Amino acid sequence: MSILQRLLPRSLYGRAALILIVPVVTIQLVVSTAFIQRHYEGVTRQMTQGVVIDLGYLLAEIEAAPTAEAARAAVLGVAEALEITLTLPAEADAPLTDRIGPLDLSGRVIVETLHIQLPALKAADVTDEERVVNLRFATRHGDLQAELSRRRMSATNPHQLLVLMIFTSILMTVIAYMFLRNQLRPITKLARAAEDFGKGRTVPYRPRGAQEVRAAGRAFLDMRARIDRQIEQRTLMLSGVSHDLRTPLTRLRLGLSLMPDDPETAALQTDVMQMERMVDEFLAFVRGDAMEGSELTDAVALVGGVVARAGDGARLAGVSGKAEPVEMRPQAVERAVQNLVSNAQRFGTVIEVRLEFLDRSLRISVEDNGPGIPEDRREEALRPFTRLDQSRDPNRGGGVGLGLSIAADIALSHGGTLRLSQSERLGGLRADLMIAR
C-alpha cells in the first residue's frame, strides 16, 4: 500500500467529503489567484497611473517656477483641489527609502508604477495605518513631500470579498454534504444489514435512497428471503431424515439387546453405536444450528462450561481484553468449542483454552500437545470427510472427520473464521475460533 493510499480516507463518507471538498478548494484558489493578479493588481496599476498624471503636472509647474515661493504659489491651490498635500521643502517625516509591507501586494505595484512613471521620485512609504501614501521627490527647489490617500491609487483590499467567498464555500459544502449524506446513509444501512446477515443476525431493513440503491436493497431482501427459506426447508427435511434414520437404528439396538451376550453381539452393538454417532455428527454438520436465534451471551461462562465438562486434561488458561457479552448463537458456538476440545483430547493429554476479546472480534484458542497437523494439510483438514494420516486423523476414535468442519462452518456463520496453526506453548495444534463482534 502506497503512502497516498494510506493517507486517503477509507470510509464512504470520508471519500465523498474528499471528492466534494477538493474541487471547491481548487476552484477557490484559482479564482482568488486570478482575481488578485488580474483584477486587483491591474486596477491598482491603472489608478496609480491616473495619480501619476496629477503628480507629473504639479512637478512640471514646480520645475518651471523661478523660486520656491513662486512654485508654492503656483501649485498649492491646484494640489488642494486634487486632494494632494504638498510640502516644499519636505519635512522630517518624509521617507528616505521605499517602505512596503511584507504582504502588501498592491503597495508593491504602487511603488513600482510611481518609480517607472515619475523618475523624480526618491522614496515612497505605503505602510501608514491611515492609508496615506507619503512621497519624496527631488526638484530644483529642494526635496518635495507629497501626501495623498491610498484609496486614489489602489482598489480596496479584497479581504471582505475573500471572506465572503470562503464563508459561501463552507456553507455550500456543508449543504452539499448534508444532501450527499442522505444519499450515502441508505448504502451504509444496506452494508450493515448485509454484514449482520453474514453474522447470522436478521435485522429489519427497508430499501431507501436513490433508484439504484433501492434496486440493490430489494435484491438483497430477495436474496435473504431465499436463503432463509432454503435453510428452513433444509431444517424441516433433516428433521424427517433424522427420524427416519434413528427408527431403524433403535430397532436394531433393541433387537441386539434381546440376543444372547457373546462377542458377535457385542461387536454388532458397537457398530450400531458408531452408526448413531456418525448420524448425529453428520446431521450436526448439515444443520449447523442455523435456525437458532442469536443473543448476547457470556462467552467466558460458555467456554468455561465446555472446559469443565471436558475433564482434568483441559483447563481455561486465561482471558484477555475487556470481557463483555457477545452476540452469538450460544448452542452453535458451544458445539464448535466442544468439537475443538474433543479433537484436542483425542490427540493430546494437555489442552489449554484461552479467550481474547478484541475490538471487533472474539478469539477462542484451543491448544494441545499432540502431534499437530502439517502446514500444507491444514486447509485439507477443514474439509468434511477428509482422512489424514494416523498421527492426526480426525476419524480416529469413532469420529467421521466433521469436528473441524462443523467448527469452521459455525465460525463462518458468525462472520469469522477458523485458523489452524502450531502451538508455540505446547507444540501441538492450535485452533483459533474467530467470532465477529
CATH of the domain at 389: 3.30.565.10
200-209, 343-352, 391-400, range with greatest mean pLDDT = 343-352
Q: 258: which 3 cell numbers?
A: 434381546
Least confident of 35-49, 359-373, 377-391: 377-391
Q: How far apart are CA 263 and CA 267, in angstroms?
A: 6
86-90, 244-248, 256-260, range with greatest mean pLDDT = 86-90
- What is the identity of the amino acid at 336? A
Q: What total of structural domains would you count in the chain?
A: 3
pLDDT reported for residue 238 = 67
Cis peptide bond N-terminal to 207, omega within 30: no
Confidence of residue 398 (pLDDT cuts 50, 70, 90): very low
pLDDT reported for residue 299 = 92
pLDDT reported for residue 396 = 45
User: Same structural domain for residues 140 and 276?
Assistant: no
Higher per-residue pLDDT: 32 or 143: 143
User: Same structural domain for residues 124 and 253?
Assistant: no
pLDDT reported for residue 78 = 87
pLDDT reported for residue 395 = 41
256 pLDDT exceeds 90? no
pLDDT reported for residue 150 = 86
Higher per-residue pLDDT: 362 or 232: 362
Mean local confidence (pLDDT), 155-179 = 73
Higher per-residue pLDDT: 210 or 342: 342
- What is the identity of the amino acid at 426? L
pLDDT reported for residue 355 = 94
204 occurs within a structural domain: no
Burial class (CB in 10 A: 0-12, 13-18, 19+), 244: exposed
pLDDT reported for residue 405 = 82
Distances 306 to 232, 285, 314 between C-alpha atoms, Å:
28, 19, 9
User: Same structural domain for residues 275 and 334?
Assistant: no
Q: Which helix (H) or strand (E) holds 181?
A: helix 159-198
170 occurs within a structural domain: no
User: Same structural domain for residues 105 and 21?
Assistant: yes
User: Same structural domain for residues 323 and 419?
Assistant: yes
394 pLDDT exceeds 50? no
Give me the sign of the Cα torsion angle 408, 410, 416, 421. negative
178 occurs within a structural domain: no
62-66, 250-254, 391-395, range with greatest mean pLDDT = 62-66
Q: Are 270 and 310 in contact, with CB atoms under 8 Å apart?
A: no
For residue 408, the enclosing domain spans 295-436
Mean local confidence (pLDDT), 350-361 = 91
Rounded to 10°, the helix 105-117/41-64 angle is 40
Higher per-residue pLDDT: 296 or 285: 296
300 pLDDT exceeds 80? yes
Mean local confidence (pLDDT), 232-260 = 75
Confidence of residue 379 (pLDDT cuts 50, 70, 90): confident
Can you give the C-alpha Rg of the chain in angstroms? Answer: 44
Least confident of 24-33, 72-81, 166-175, 286-295: 286-295
User: Same structural domain for residues 264 and 312?
Assistant: no
199 occurs within a structural domain: no
User: Same structural domain for residues 40 and 68?
Assistant: yes
Q: Which of 223, 253, 286 is the last residue of a domain?
A: 286
Distances 223 to 5, 197, 209, 214 between C-alpha atoms, Å:
34, 11, 19, 14
228 occurs within a structural domain: no
User: What is the chain's mean pLDDT, rounded?
Assistant: 81
Q: Which of 137, 157, 177 is the last residue of a domain?
A: 157
Distances 136 to 68, 80, 120, 261 between C-alpha atoms, Å:
16, 18, 9, 132
3 pLDDT exceeds 80? no
Confidence of residue 88 (pLDDT cuts 50, 70, 90): confident
pLDDT reported for residue 5 = 65
Q: Which of 128, 157, 186 is the last residue of a domain?
A: 157
275 pLDDT exceeds 90? no
Residue 265: which CATH number? 1.10.287.130
231 occurs within a structural domain: no
46 pLDDT exceeds 80? yes
Neighbours of 307 (CB within 10 A): 20
User: Same structural domain for residues 113 and 23?
Assistant: yes
- What is the identity of the amino acid at 140? R
285 pLDDT exceeds 60? no
384 occurs within a structural domain: yes
pLDDT reported for residue 354 = 93
Torsion of CA 352, 356, 362, 363, to 10 degrees: -40
Backbone angles phi, psi at 381, to 5 degrees: -65, -20
User: Same structural domain for residues 268 and 313?
Assistant: no
Neighbours of 268 (CB within 10 A): 16
Mean local confidence (pLDDT), 397-426 = 80
User: Same structural domain for residues 300 and 280?
Assistant: no
39-48, 158-167, 229-238, 337-346, range with greatest mean pLDDT = 337-346
User: Same structural domain for residues 245 and 118?
Assistant: no
pLDDT reported for residue 162 = 67
Give me the sign of the Cα torsion angle 324, 406, 340, 426. negative
201 occurs within a structural domain: no
Give me the sign of the Cα torsion angle 421, 425, 426, 427. positive
393 pLDDT exceeds 50? no
User: Same structural domain for residues 71 and 108?
Assistant: yes
